[in-house]
Structure 1
Amino acid sequence: MIKKIFALVLIALMSLLVASCGAKKSSGAGKIYKSSAKVSYYHNKFNGRKTASGEKFSNSKLTAAHRKLDFGTKVRLTNKINGKSVIVVINDRGPWIRGRELDISKKAFMEITDNKDKGILVVMIEIL
């Protein structure tokens, strides 16, 4: 009898754990890392070069460089002006220009900008 009660309690706890994990994933909300940060995009001359993580860089992928975030970290960038957002994966180190938080691939930049001629955006950064 005690084994049955223990098994039922264990099943109930596991169900709650699974349900809470599912709810968190479906909400889509991330932890705000910076509410306002400047980002720029990579020049095409970097295509094919190795990133700090060892991957080959491609401006046609959704990737980014950050000075400290772990490689493989997914972040959502939301343009503060138009509300468009994109999810990128950190795979490089940088940017090395003072005042910039991220260098992002050209594809990611073009997905969230309205002005294709401008090279810097102000975004909110969320860690997913």
Structure 2
Amino acid sequence: MMPDANQLLLLAVAVGLLHVIVFALVMRWSDAAGSPPAGESGFSSLAGREGDAGAERSDNDSRSVTGEPVGPSLDTDEATVRCPACGAENEAAYQYCRLCVSQLHGGAGGAADGSSPTSDRMGR
């Protein structure tokens, strides 16, 4: 016995609905696994987590815990300047670090002592 057109249409709609339900469940599960716990979001959720093995770096250290240079390298033939705060390479014309926004050169805004403009305004 061959199914008629109405039965085929009903079967196609059922299969399509099943696909939509499976897709919605997969998206819900993948979103729940990738998001921070309830009540934690933004920077505060990242600040509470331990970094690489929980090791600390001094402000004068220009390398990461593993000894590798900090931040992505610059693909430039021009002179570069290392940030005194985080050690990232920056183009010589930059006034502020491209990673941590610390001032690179001494000047009217303050010395390049590793303090960031934000911490200067907050009195730290």
* TM-score bin (small chain): 0.3 to 0.5
Taking structure 1 as the reference length, the TM-score comes to 0.34
Q: Which has the higher contact order (CA 8 A, sep 6+)?
A: 1
Structure with greater strand share of residues: 1
Structure with greater helix share of residues: 2
Taking structure 2 as the reference length, the TM-score comes to 0.35
